[in-house]
Amino acid sequence: MLARFGPAPKRGVLRRTPPGIAIALALAAVLVGYFLPLLGISLLAFLLMDAAVGYLHHRKTAEANKP
């Protein structure tokens, strides 16, 4: 039986979190990357790809909304 966790968070949720929580999450990601280098490399690759997709989506949306 598969556990259900609910829908994925919407894009930009991390920007609206309190700074302390965002820093703790970033620190946790750095520690995982340091102590588990293979997982850290794939985590970094995922974050870079996600940031690139978000940037391109934002740029495309901004161009579509130009008058």
Please write the tens of the pLDDT for every residue from 12-38.
787 888 999 989 988 998 888 888 888
Residue-averaged pLDDT of the chain: 84
Other Cβ atoms closer than 10 A to 40:
16
Distance of alpha carbon 40 from alpha carbon 57, whole angstroms: 25
DSSP state of 15: G
Gyration radius from the chain CA atoms: 16
56 burial (CB, 10 Å; 0-12 / 13-18 / 19+) is: exposed
Give pLDDT, residue 23. 92
Q: How many CA atoms lie within 13 A of 66 on its CB side?
A: 6
> Does the structure show a pLDDT above 70 at 52?
yes
pTM: 0.58
